[in-house]
Amino acid sequence: MAKTDWKSKAKKLKKKFNALKGEMELRIHDAAVSVAATTAPPKTKAAKTVSPLAPKGGFPKLPHIAGAEFAAIEAGVKYKNRKDVMLVRLAPGTAIAGVFTKSTTRAACVLDCQAKLALKAPADAGAAIIVNSGNSNAFTGALGQQSVDAVTGGVAEALGIPATRVFSSSTGVIGEPLPHDRILAVIGDLAAGLKTDAVDMAAQAIMTTDTFPKGAAATVQGDGGTIHISGIAKGSGMIAPDMATMLVYIFTDAKITPAALQRMLSRNVDSTFNAITVDSDTSTSDALLLCATGQSAAAPVKGPVAKAFETALHGVMLDLAKQVTRDGEGATKLVEVQITGAASDRDAHLAAMAIANSPLVKTAVAGEDANWGRVVMAIGKSGAKAERDKLSIRFGDLVVAENGWRSPGYSEEATSAYMKNDELVIGVDMGLGRAKKTVWTCDLTHGYIDINADYRS
């Protein structure tokens, strides 16, 4: 029997594999060219009515962050006559921390950001963030990463920084190839238009179904100078984040290490962005980046200043998170759900989110119906430990149920009058322990259906 030449066979198989690999890469490239040629032209979208829950006074005046410059432009990613791409340039030495969605169908840009943060590339050359709205570049196969590479590479070349320090986000329709050629065409103009006072335009450019741009700020007195914090966010629907939020970018001039920055960010996510829900749906593209330029005259953050800084950071995060809830699609009421007396932190969270996500509770709120029985239902299905005779439920300061029954002092007239407020509190004491949790949600109206039925048109 002839002896088999395994080495020769292996070489032939390897050659065949490389040929097939080359063919597949060519097909992917051809598909990308085809996508670019056939992507729908940008559409004109009707103006939105601003949410009745929007903060009074419009977009706040945010303090300039030394070492951070912003620009926004119309690229026509999906719609015409609106800015839809924003760019941020960050000074050399900027520390960056981030948290992201835990969705198993994460967008290419999220995976790319996570990989780049894990690299811990030197910050000497600075950094940049580029964000587009109108297309999430999620579930777009190999083309998704190619689009990310093209856009971040274009920014890197325009600003003279390594591509490993260029972070990107995309938000919008899932499953449609990103027309990244439109973004590449405006990167030069974006780079030329970078300014320290254009953060408001950046906030507008990242909006999708949002009805108002979202911003928040704080200052902290450090040793030798003032530390500033400014943040912007987008989010209106598909809001029930898991470890992150919609899209949020927070900037500070504090001198702080990347590790300390990451610890502070991670510690404060659960009580802010993970404590809001509009529709119980977690986005494929949720991302939060926290950037510290180190340009403040104040000494490095440590000791009592570190505690004050973290408190201020938490305040900015909570402000932005609640603004997202205020802008929930079709929302007319903001609801704070307060759970106390739970047997464990997990039980407190389960009960709070069950109430906040319940369509029956949310539609009752929309109809200004004091139907506390739906709160009882939500607690019962939550998985949290509960005992009927120890529960008490209140709307605002009005106790509606206690000791396993409707409260003796219950007044339908008073409770119905309370339900007409724009901002409501639903409080539940489980009567079993000391754990507590507060989350925020909004009502569910026909407006939510209208917005989402028309989303891709």
Report the domain count for the chain: 2
Of 284, 301, 326, the one marking the end of a domain is 326
Task: For residues 342 and 345, give the distance between their C-alpha atoms in angstroms, rounded to a whole number.
Answer: 7
**If DSSP codes are grouped into helix, strand and coil, which group holds residue 45?**
coil
Strands (E), 223-368: 225-234, 247-252, 287-292, 334-342
Does 33 have pLDDT greater than 50? no
- Whether 50 is in a domain gets the answer no
DSSP state of 281: P
Average pLDDT, the chain: 89
Assess whether 122 and 173 both reside in one domain.
Answer: yes
Q: Say which residue the tokens 């309370």 belong to.
A: 418
Of 276, 292, 326, the one marking the end of a domain is 326
Assess whether 384 and 338 both reside in one domain.
Answer: yes
- Whether 347 is in a domain gets the answer yes
- Whether 80 is in a domain gets the answer yes
Cβ neighbors of 359 (< 8 A, separation 6 or more) are 444
Assess whether 317 and 437 both reside in one domain.
Answer: no
Per-residue pLDDT at 283: 67
Per-residue HEC secondary structure of 99-139 comes to EECCCCCCCHHHHHHHHHHHHCCCCCCCEEEEEEEEECCCC
- Whether 87 is in a domain gets the answer yes
CB 428 within 8 A of CB 349: no
Return the percentage of the chain with pLDDT > 70, whole number: 85
Task: For residues 404 and 362, give the distance between their C-alpha atoms in angstroms, rounded to a whole number.
Answer: 23
Task: For residues 255 and 228, give the distance between their C-alpha atoms in angstroms, rounded to a whole number.
Answer: 11
- Whether 53 is in a domain gets the answer no
Task: For residues 275 and 309, give the distance between their C-alpha atoms in angstroms, rounded to a whole number.
Answer: 21
Assess whether 121 and 200 both reside in one domain.
Answer: yes
Assess whether 302 and 407 both reside in one domain.
Answer: no
What is the CA angle 121-127-129, rounded to 5? 120
Residue 119, domain CATH? 3.60.70.12
Rg (CA), the chain: 25
CB 106 within 8 A of CB 138: yes
Q: Half-sphere exposure of residue 291, counting CA atoms within 13 Å on the CB side? A: 31
Residue 231's closest CA among 327, 312, 125, 126?
312
Assess whether 341 and 294 both reside in one domain.
Answer: no
Assess whether 317 and 447 both reside in one domain.
Answer: no
Assess whether 265 and 172 both reside in one domain.
Answer: yes
pLDDT digits (tens, 9 = 90+) for 115-155: 999 999 999 989 999 999 999 999 999 999 999 999 999 99
Cβ neighbors of 156 (< 8 A, separation 6 or more) are 128, 162, 163, 165, 166
Q: Say which residue the tokens 């390594």 belong to.
A: 162
Does 5 have pLDDT greater than 60? no
Q: What residues form DSSP beta bridges with 99?
A: 288
Q: Say which residue the tokens 């000074």 belong to.
A: 91
Residue 362, domain CATH? 3.10.20.340
Per-residue pLDDT at 98: 97
- Whether 49 is in a domain gets the answer no
**DSSP characters over 252-314:** E-----HHHHHHHHHHHHTTTGGGB-SSSPPPSS-EEEEEE---SSSPPP-HHHHHHHHHHHH
Q: Say which residue the tokens 């989350």 belong to.
A: 439
CB 85 within 8 A of CB 73: yes
Per-residue pLDDT at 377: 98
Assess whether 143 and 255 both reside in one domain.
Answer: yes
Of 273, 297, 326, the one marking the end of a domain is 326
Q: How many CB atoms lie within 10 A of CB 449?
A: 12
How far is CA 71 from each of CA 89, 165, 285, 319, rounded to the nearest angstrom? 9, 18, 22, 24
Residue 327's closest CA among 271, 278, 262?
278
Task: For residues 149 and 259, give the distance between their C-alpha atoms in angstroms, rounded to a whole number.
Answer: 26
Per-residue pLDDT at 25: 42
Assess whether 133 and 250 both reside in one domain.
Answer: yes
Per-residue pLDDT at 424: 98
- Whether 63 is in a domain gets the answer no
Query: Is residue 28 very low, low, confident or very high in pLDDT (cuts 50, 70, 90)?
Result: very low
First vs last Cα of the chain: how many Å apart?
69
Q: Say which residue the tokens 């209106």 belong to.
A: 236
Sign of the CA dihedral with 117 first, then 99, 138, and 141 last: positive
- Whether 18 is in a domain gets the answer no
Per-residue pLDDT at 328: 83
Does 399 have pLDDT greater than 50? yes
Range of the domain at 220: 68-326
Assess whether 258 and 312 both reside in one domain.
Answer: yes
Does 359 have pLDDT greater than 50? yes
pTM for this prediction: 0.87
Assess whether 265 and 246 both reside in one domain.
Answer: yes
Q: Which residues are known catalytic residues?
A: 245
Q: Tell me the average pLDDT across 10-39.
A: 46
pLDDT digits (tens, 9 = 90+) for 269-301: 999 999 998 766 666 778 999 999 999 999 999
CB 362 within 8 A of CB 441: yes
